[in-house]
A and B are shown apart, each in its own frame.
Chain A
Amino acid sequence: MKKKEQEKLQHHIEAHELKKKKIPKGKHLLEVKDLKMYFHTQDGIVKAVDGVSYTLDKDETLGVVGESGSGKSVTAMTIMGLIEMPPGQIEGGDVLYRGKSLLSMTEKEMQGIRGNNIAMIFQDPMTALNPVYTIGRQLGEGLRVHMGYSRKQALARAEELLGMVGIPNAEQRVKDYPHQFSGGMRQRAMIAMALACDPDILIADEPTTALDVTIQAQIIELMQEMQDKNHNAIIMITHDLGVVADIADKIMVMYAGRPVEFGTADEIFYNPIHPYTWGLMRSIPEQATEEKKPLTPISGNPPSLVNVPKGCSFSPRCPYATARCKEEEPPVYKTESGHYSRCFFSGDKAFVEKNSPRTTRDVATGTRKKERKPQAALDDTTARAVQALKESQAATEASNTKQTKRG
């Protein structure tokens, strides 16, 4: 290999090595520490992300919920280093991936990380897929860049990947252009593309919002199966609490650029302690089959991020707001388990007891292992996917060793 090309690959090789390294003791796969990202616009400073913190380990799924404009996507894009600066600017905090700061990496270094270590699926696959290239070529792109595959190898692997995500006739379909795919197929192609390099972290930004329930169910199932095999972490951004209930181990509830509540899925669903989380839950139509209960919406409108309300940002819409809430910012209340909330009254057991929605655990639980029965209709696909995945992992491994030797 020519020297120049080798240099070009250097960052990708480093990124590969980082993926294989042990995570330093006391560190996490991903640690977001008090991250702040503001946009400097004509209208003023948009505090899109204003103090987001969490940790994520292998095999874990973090669900991120919240209203439109609460900073869910910007948080993810900041981690990926995809925010244009300016107008964006990091105002504080850090993002550590396997103990290394992503924010202090150069764009070159980030190119090695993106797609290879951390991959992202976007809400609208049409904007992420290039309409003038075939699906096969786009699927292979990452493999050629990150792993030095030849055009032919990449195409063969693209076929495999399409088969793996349940697209029939893969050897034909790789030649198709994105517009020849249905919405569900495009989203599956996106997942295939995101998983091509076996990333540590998969960030999915509303991957199913534009899809129908039946296709949505297929996609979620697919992501979970892939996680069972690859042990990657998932960050699932959505406004659908149902989707989060399906897939998340931890949940972050965002409001006006901040997590207002964070906890395990059990804590958020069965013991929520922030009034915004309560409001969100009361807004969802219940799937009653006997009698319909009225909805209790949150009154008012989401706040402007240029003029975030004084004190608690939820105070203009909060039914429990006091004079103090409108003046002072509530501190973070944190329990021993790490469940935290930004509300003056989260630690007040009587208050929480009295005002939180009644959440019933209809099903007795002990262990909450992810034991999914294979679905009849999916059996074929699953078997195919497992097979394809095994082969692909072997191939990835082989290519990695080759890479390292060459490098």
Chain B
Amino acid sequence: MANTTKEQPLLQVKHLTKEFPVESGVFGSRFAKHVSAVDDVSFNIYPRKTFGLVGESGCGKSTTGRCIMRLLRPTKGEVIFDGQDVAQLKKKELKAVRRNMQYIFQDPYASLNPRMTIGEIISEPMVIHNEGGSRAERIESVKKLLDVVGLNPEHINRYPHEFSGGQRQRIGIARAFALSPKLIICDEPVSALDVSIQAQVLNLLDGLQEAFGTAYLFIAHDLSVVQHISDEVAVMYLGNLMEYSDWRSLYAEPYHPYTQALLSAVPVPNPDIQKTRERIILAGDPPSPINPPKGCRFHTRCPIATEECKKERPPMKEVEAGHFCACWHAKPFPIEGSSVEL
């Protein structure tokens, strides 16, 4: 990946697999079933870079993020962060790793403890990891952080309910940056926000990355947002990675039929383009991850699926330098001016 980068990856995800058991009674069967939430996913994240992960709801984006952070224990695979396999670490060893990995959640309402002041919320990571010096010094850093994320430092003793959604998301961001970690997993950080506020938060994340040199795993379902913020982008479908490359190549020349369909379905805020461009509209809904389709998991909705696709899972292949795609019939599909030309 990213042949331009000679640097060592900060994070290597190798064959990550996560299955959740399903209570058999519910489905009327005596045999134990499982949800195949993430299946054999591999990618690298480089220092100071943003890796975007997109896909439909339920495709396994959050599960991937949670496994990397070891909020969930992977069923199989490795998560090598800073030279250590996070998947194998003991609880105690995890603490040290987590200092350098933080998580920003989608819901700015549910993710902040309503009984803590924002000062307490933001300094929590410093307290947990016993860093940041004395109490007074911590308060100073919290004030600085509040200023950096565009909130009034004098509001340090206020409670989350006194803030709007966009402001709460800034509080979550300030907390994530409290220890200037090496990696932040941003799980749909702007999905719950208005467009005007979304733009504020995206710019903030951009600026902080520049200032702190943090790498992001940026999870979202909005393709335009991911395009805007990412250096590299991966497309996920039903627990599998379908395609990944640097953002330009993925958006300008997607090889995978699913990526092509996704891109062609994004509404463009320009009526002329929107009304004249060709679109691939996929029929049906994504199948259940409890019993995912055999072979290529996309074959039930793929407009160009063949018999082969139903039998064997396509391997991830490098279709161009640094551009990877898992499809038996991968071909470039230029999307010019956001309109798909068939």
Contact = CB atoms under 8 A, between A and B. Distances in A.
Partners in one complex: yes
Interface of A: 67-68, 166, 168, 182-185, 212-218, 220-221, 239-246, 248, 265-266, 269, 279-290, 292, 294-299, 301-302, 359, 361-363, 365, 368, 370, 373, 375-378, 380-381
16 contacts: A213-B223, A217-B281, A217-B282, A218-B283, A242-B266, A242-B267, A242-B274, A245-B274, A280-B196, A287-B227, A295-B203, A296-B199, A297-B200, A299-B200, A370-B275, A377-B282
Contacts of A221: 281
A321 to B, nearest CB: 16
A68 B337 CA distance: 30
Nearest to B266: A213
Interface residues of B, number: 50
Given A297-B197, A297-B200, A363-B273, A245 B268 contact: yes
Contacts of B223: 213
Nearest to A244: B269
Contact of A240 (B203, B267, B270, B335): B267
B221 interface: yes
Given A295-B228, A297-B200, A363-B273, A284 B285 contact: no
Given A214-B265, A216-B265, A246-B267, A239 B285 contact: no
A166 B281 CA distance: 13
Given A166-B283, A214-B56, A285-B199, 20 more contacts: A68-B165, A213-B221, A217-B281, A217-B282, A221-B281, A245-B267, A266-B271, A283-B198, A285-B228, A287-B338, A294-B203, A297-B199, A301-B164, A302-B194, A362-B270, A362-B272, A368-B272, A375-B279, A377-B282, A378-B283
Residue among A182, A213, A245, A301 with the highest chain B CB neighbour number at 10 A: A213
**Main secondary structure on B side of the interface with A:** helix
A185 B200 CA distance: 34
Nearest to A297: B199
A157 B196 CA distance: 44
Given A213-B262, A280-B196, A285 B281 contact: no
Given A265-B271, A299-B200, A368-B275, A289 B195 contact: no
B265 A301 contact: no
B57 interface: yes
Contacts of B283: 166, 218, 377-378, 380-381
Contact of B281 (A182, A218, A266): A218
B202 interface: yes
Contacts of A266: 271
